[in-house]
Structure 1
């Protein structure tokens, strides 16, 4: 799947800048192509980097992780093969174009161009850079990091060293590797500096509100700490306590402050899940029957916001929330006709593609702190934070306060933590898994590091991963062939956990 939305965002912006710049350039400078500017201003680059970050999470990598954690099931083409764990040889475009050759290099260009005079841009770019590098290492493990994005057009570095995931998260001074935590902190510090230029309308997410960028950065620190909390609980606890000491005003504590990339209804600007499932490949995936069964048992009011209802049919499931039709992951059964498939609904895709892709959210913050208070014994009441996460997710999905209250009253076994700490953790992560519908990457991280929710193997797993749900992606062919001297040897199989994923 080509990165249509990213190209439209970034190229349209570049061409608009080029057109606006023509009058300022020398009329007869035949050595400069006005349609291919040598430099692009941060106002253009930030717009493209935000749009492409949303596209990364909602495009191919979003689809495969949604399948792995069984929000959806693949019924045709690539999603069907992904659903049986046939993933070798894929994701060249995501690695080479969407990440390293797209979002990440644009963010680095912002940093290079604005660090001295306009650190507000550099700070925002560093925070978003940390998010994108976290996503990359979380999915692949060891990756080019400290030596990536270096060089220039005349002398690019095509063979950067692969840094270990441990060093990427924790830093390694002797190797010159800055930790993701320090990268975010550096970005936060930049936001407080005097800046000639500051983001404004070019900032798709926060429209230049630096206070909200700080909330995003601090909440991102919680996410990163949560990711490594099982591998290095001491560092995770230290980071979380450091963030909590800043007070709730420094965090995303309201759905309105969520870091989410907006989309529109015009072709090319639509939510990538909508573009794929309703425009380009409407017959490739639908709701997982396993997800449907889980929400049916919980009588979850978010179900019709997450997936569409269907007419009654032989494969349908009747629930108190309507009739839905799912498909078992990896099944070879006859696929229901399109009208009888539950597919992503308004919460994920809007009515015509205008729903945002959600990256760092209020409900996520509440669930992280609930888990941290339970397991790491950081400040806060796990029960109150757990319920706060559920309420925030339900409100975000359009459930009224009255209906949320009624659900809590009717379902104490679901909304009240009980049993051992591991049972309580299962409750927290299961609710977080439900809330992350439309962001398979985050749910996949939680599933790998905790083992929750308990997900059964796909029905017909391929020989590539016959006994377990994959816990990482294969390195793309483009990197294997172009960076031979640095690619890890032997290359890890998909059943080899990444560093922070403690068995």
Structure 2
């Protein structure tokens, strides 16, 4: 599937025109002020806002899961303002606009728009339940100023039904303008695959709380064959390259700006290096090949931090390592890694420059090479689906080959990394490297015992989920894997859920009297599927 290179100016126009369509009222029937929202403008607005506000929670997941070594969640600390932007954005922008598309699309019998909006609604609410547990659902978009928190388990039940509704709607009449659909450019079959892959993810999520339902559901979906099975079918948001206004990946904007975004995670760096994983050069860009921890000049450039390190930052803007070409569209690191030996087959110095990275840069970056910010936000991907199927094969007896699915998942992700690098004029991965590394993982899997198989699987998924900390956070709470590094200086216990927006707790009369107990329970109480 061809991905759309999104132009930010057009997106801002869409947002301006569509963000308040649910409130359009004009008694004079002025053609310049329509009484009905234009679905082809409102739908992409919902897709943009979904990706935008998802980024706010994604940073928290990435921090707690040690994809980053910065941010308060890296020390397990959160407050009522930690995720207030995402909470407010979902409930005041994304969800109301999705409901408008569903309502008005139904009235207009524009079933393609209705189906897509229902699938985005199901995806978004599933993420909200995963992160917050109980959230407003039945009264979320109503005249009720004090919506109750619906139980997460009940919301999940409704979401399975909502996905099925969307699949039925698609078969009524699916006509979507390609320019109105940022994700799939109006492809019905792509949305059908996304719908079933979302169901697969949700069934796997509940396999501990409702094994029978999960097993039956996953087996049925595998039998259908209508799942995401190719990288071109990924449910992912593609960022653009525009600088003014800014259409680039948020991580790129943050990490390549003056503030430098934070610190890379040393557990992630060490895992990639110790595993001979070629993705290290794509995940991390070293500004200085000699710098080490604590900004010393006795290292090999991977200047990040250990998890939970809350020390003040020195003057290290020009030496700390940065997020690389994947997933943020940053820089590819082709400098020499001095400690690599002949035993390193897939992460090696073939073609590397002898002293430091040749992609040294100054702000602002040139747009003539890699480092454009045209990254991706991977939401549900071919690699994720294969990892889920491998996990189900191990734990639910689906009859599939877990070892082959794991190898296929790793290969799919390596191809995704290579494709993004190619689009950003970086060095692509040789086919032999992709195949060889995936087969190496498959061999390790075959040699492991049951516990070792699960650990290897979830560790590889954790690596592949770099760019989507939310799903990695979900996996860890469900499986306890991968093994995370000990925190240098934790400020709280491991967070089982995200804090609610303090504004919600202090303005909602059904919650205000118990707000302190409710908020504290977020840190310590598992979501319903975490048994």
* Cross-structure match for 1:67: 63
- Distance in structure 2 (CA, Å) of the matches to 1:448 and 1:393: 23
* Cross-structure match for 1:369: 389
Correspondence for 2:215 among 237, 243, 249: 237
* Cross-structure match for 2:239: 263
* Cross-structure match for 2:105: 114
Cα RMSD for the two superposed structures: 2.7
* Cross-structure match for 2:116: 124
**1:307 matches 2:287:** no
- Per-residue CA shift, 1:281-314, capped at 9, x if unaligned? 6333121111111111111111111121332334
- Distance in structure 1 (CA, Å) of the matches to 2:314 and 2:479: 32
Q: How far did 1:404 drift?
A: 1.5
Equivalent residue runs for 1:51-450 within 5 Å: 51-57=48-54, 59-74=55-70, 79=71, 81-90=72-81, 91-97=83-89, 99-116=90-107, 117-150=109-142, 156-170=143-157, 179-195=158-174, 197-247=175-225, 250-267=226-243, 268-279=246-257, 282-315=259-292, 323-331=301-309, 332=311, 335=314, 337-350=316-329, 351-398=371-418, 399-408=429-438, 414=444, 416-450=445-479
Q: How far did 1:205 drift?
A: 1.2
- Distance in structure 1 (CA, Å) of the matches to 2:404 and 2:31: 59
- Distance in structure 1 (CA, Å) of the matches to 2:104 and 2:262: 42
Kindly tell me: are residues 457 and 32 of structure 1, through their superposed partners in 2, closer, same or farther at Cα, counting changes over 3 Å? farther
Q: How far did 1:14 drift?
A: 4.9
Native 8 Å contact 2:46 2:94 kept in 1:
yes
Q: How far did 1:486 drift?
A: 4.8
Q: How far did 1:64 drift?
A: 1.1
Q: How far did 1:147 drift?
A: 2.0
Q: How far did 1:412 drift?
A: 6.1
- Distance in structure 2 (CA, Å) of the matches to 1:288 and 1:206: 33
* Cross-structure match for 1:173: none
Q: How far did 1:127 drift?
A: 0.7
Native 8 Å contact 1:205 1:261 kept in 2:
yes
Scaled by the length of structure 1, the TM-score of the pair is 0.84
* Cross-structure match for 1:21: none
Q: How many residues align?
A: 456
Kindly tell me: are residues 471 and 276 of structure 1, through their superposed partners in 2, closer, same or farther at Cα, counting changes over 3 Å? same
Q: How far did 1:333 drift?
A: 6.8
Q: How far did 1:194 drift?
A: 2.2
Q: How far did 1:10 drift?
A: 6.3
Q: Secondary structure at the match of 2:326?
A: helix
- Distance in structure 2 (CA, Å) of the matches to 1:113 and 1:7: 26
Q: Secondary structure at the match of 2:236?
A: strand
- Distance in structure 1 (CA, Å) of the matches to 2:455 and 2:439: 21
Scaled by the length of structure 2, the TM-score of the pair is 0.80
Structure 1 unaligned blocks of 5 or more: 19-24, 151-155, 171-178
